[in-house]
Amino acid sequence: MSELLRNLVTYLNSTGFFHMTWQNTVMLGVALVLLYLAIVKQFEPLLLIPIGFGALAANIPLANLMAAPHGQEIGGLFYYLYHGVKLEIFPPIIFLGIGAMTDFGPLIAAPRTLLLGAAAQFGIFATLLGATMLGFTPKEAGSIGIIGGADGPTAIFTTVHLAPHLLGPIAVAAYSYMSLVPLIQPPIMRLLTTRKERRIVMTELRPVSRREKILFPILVTVFCSMLVPPAAALIVMLMFGNLLREVGITERLVKTAQNELINIVTIFLGLSVGITMDASFLNVKTLGIIVLGACAFAFATAAGVLLAKLMNLFTRDKINPLIGSAGVSAVPMAARVSHNVGQEENPQNYLLMHAMGPNVAGVIGTAVAAGVLISILK
């Protein structure tokens, strides 16, 4: 009987319940909040569900999902999956899929919206300065600042180069803010615009020829890759995916890039990001990164809106300032948010295609900004 009790106690000691800490409990609560936002509120479920479930798995004691190989023992499942993040494999593949799904026509038809995408990068550099003043090293500050682009793959790509020890919290912050675009942006947009400005109806975009759409990814690849070589992997894959889309003769490749490939990599990337949210995630530095990331995102949103208002002082063809907020590179979430806020004031106002101009410009702009940071700080 005593031996049976000893065996029972030994078994209980080997369970995760016995080794739970308050930090694990808090992080399990955070994981459940992320899953709630994704499932119930439908805040970008394709991103938040893998991240939230990864965080759930990360806080199960003794599961050893991120354990490194030791001797003859193989490592945990997520140890190997996470190499897709550490070795910069997942982010460029995600960009390939984004390029294959994205129509750059609105940007080509209205080149001035490129300025709105550029304005949103202000949040990156403003936060870089703020993080440096708060005691982060320049490389850490650069990695934190890139969160303002609301581009998870670019944030991961930049951090691997500049501050790999901060990869977990920066990736989590970047993807979380991408997912929470519908929650964070509208209050800033309403605060900085009047009802009259939100009701502005923009003129219809001109048609864009097939030749223009084919030449665009080729020219952008050459120019931007030469301008910022460190960001070439992202830019090349983004534009390659877009070229596959626009030539019209690679249907199988386009469908694979748009669906199976990007979906598989999104699952692995989301789980890999979430698995970093273990008990060690709860520290002052991580909380500082999350707060600074929120500031970066807010600054980027505000900069785009304010530049659109400034441009209206000098142009007869007025811009609805709401599309300036789409300059962050969360495609197409930010464009949808601009459209939805505009329709609250004027249900007949269709801003989506106009907002896609600064939105896709923001994707390119964030990749270029990442290349600049890597070139200067590395």
Spatial separation of the C-alpha atoms in residues 121 and 365, rounded to whole Å: 7
Confidence of residue 1 (pLDDT cuts 50, 70, 90): low
Which string of b and e fits 351-361 if b means at least 16 CB within 10 Å? bbbbbbbbbbb
pLDDT score of 146 more than 80: yes
Q: Is 70 helix (H, G, I), strand (E, B) or coil?
A: strand
Across-strand partners of 70? 73
Among residues 351, 364, 319, the alpha carbon closest in space to that of 112 is found at 319
Integer distance in angstroms from the first to the last C-alpha of the chain? 64
Instruction: Transcribe 170-193 into DSSP letters.
Output: HHHHHHHHHHTHHHHHHHHHHHHS
153-186 per-position pLDDT tens digit = 899 899 989 998 888 788 888 877 877 788 889 9
Quick count: other Cβ atoms within 10 Å of Cβ 323? 32
Q: With cut-offs at 50, 70 and 90, classify the pLDDT of residue 247.
A: very high
320 Cβ partners below 8 Å, 6+ apart?
197, 198, 200, 201, 202, 308, 338, 342, 349, 351, 354
Calpha distance 105→113 (Å, rounded): 12
Q: What does the domain layout of the chain look like in residue ranges?
A: 80-377
Q: What is the pTM of this model?
A: 0.90
> For residue range 17-71, what is the model confidence (pLDDT) as tens digits?
777 888 899 999 989 998 998 899 887 788 889 989 999 999 998 888 888 898 8
Banded model confidence at residue 238, pLDDT cuts 50, 70, 90:
very high
Cα 289 from chain centroid? 15
